[in-house]
Amino acid sequence: MKNIAIIFGGESSEYSVSLHSAASVIKEIDPEKFNVTLIGITTKGEWKLYEGTVEAIDNDTWHTNDNKDVTIKFGQLGGFYVDDEKLTVDVAFPVLHGKNGEDGSIQGVFELAHIPYIGCNIIASAMSLDKEVTHIICEDKGIRMAPYVAINYFDDVNEKMNTINNTLHYPLFVKPSNVGSSYGITKVYNTNDLLPAIEKAFEYDKKLLVEQGIEGFEIGCAVLGNDELIVGEVDHIDTTQDFFDFEGKYNLKNTTIHCPAKINETLKTQAKEKAKVIYRLLQCSGLARVDMFVDQNNDLVFNEINTLPGFTSASRYPTMMKKIGISYKQLIEKLYDLALEKYEK
> For residue 323, what pLDDT is reported?
97
- Domain spanning 148-212: which superfamily? ATP-grasp fold, A domain (3.30.1490.20)
Residue 247 has pLDDT above 50, yes or no: no
Mean pLDDT of all residues in 296-303: 96
Listed in order, the ranges of the chain carrying CATH 3.40.50.20 are 2-117
pLDDT, tens digit, 9 for 90 and up, residues 172-224: 999 999 886 578 899 999 999 999 999 999 999 999 999 999 999 999 999 99
Domain(s) labelled CATH 3.30.1490.20 in the chain stretch across 148-212
Handedness of CA 315, 316, 319, 321 (dihedral sign): negative
Q: Tell me: the pLDDT tens digits for 120-138?
A: 999 999 999 999 999 999 9
pLDDT above 70: percentage of residues in the chain: 95
User: What is the pTM for the complete model shown?
Assistant: 0.92
Whether residue 89 is predicted with pLDDT greater than 90 in this model: the reply is yes
Stretch 274-299: mean pLDDT? 97
**Residue-averaged pLDDT of the chain:** 93
- Give the mean model confidence (pLDDT) for residues 310-324: 93
Note the pLDDT tens digit of each residue in 30-86.
Answer: 999 999 999 999 999 999 999 999 999 999 999 987 899 999 999 988 999 999 999
The CATH architecture one would assign to domain 127-144+216-344 is 2-Layer Sandwich (3.30)
* pLDDT for the residue numbered 2: 97
Burial class (CB in 10 A: 0-12, 13-18, 19+), 182: middle
Q: What is the mean pLDDT of residues 105-111?
A: 96
What is the architecture of the domain spanning 2-117?
Answer: 3-Layer(aba) Sandwich (3.40)
Within the chain, all domains assigned CATH 3.30.470.20 are found at 127-144+216-344
Residue 225 has pLDDT above 90, yes or no: yes
